[in-house]
Amino acid sequence: MLFLPINRNWVLSQTARYLYFVCALLTLALLATLIGVPMAISATGMDLTPNARSVVKVILFPEILGAAVLWVAMWYFWFGFDRSHYLLRALSFILLFFFGPLGASIYYFATYRRSVLTAPSPDAA
């Protein structure tokens, strides 16, 4: 197993907070894109042109990257830094494991953001 020497300052720093917030927004945008594009195609009854396909691919790349970063970061926070009640951690595991990027986004807003806002910033020390 790969063990990365990531300390508490890396996961809870102000920069990480901003990065994870942007990644959570990109994850929500990814879900909107994955739902919206096929719905728009079915509503119009036409297929995408090659130029439109390349635009959608360009739009999807940062969204996929943001979803991946958020998912890995929330797993790392869950394993190492989440001190919630064990039932909440079990629910969080189900959310992260079975719901993928959507679960990571929900976990970010429900658990990570709340615990980081109540904890003192490691940057201040």
Give tens-digit pLDDT for 57-86: 898 999 999 999 999 989 888 888 878 888
28 pLDDT exceeds 70? yes
Which whole number is the average pLDDT over 75-100?
A: 88
Tokens read off for 115: 């615990």
Question: pTM for this structure?
Answer: 0.82
21 to 13, 50, 52: CA distances (angstroms): 12, 33, 28
What gap in Å lies between CA 79 and CA 122, rounded to an integer? 19
Which whole number is the average pLDDT over 12-20?
A: 88
39 pLDDT exceeds 70? yes
What gap in Å lies between CA 26 and CA 32, rounded to an integer? 10
Task: Say what the pLDDT of residue 1 is.
Answer: 54
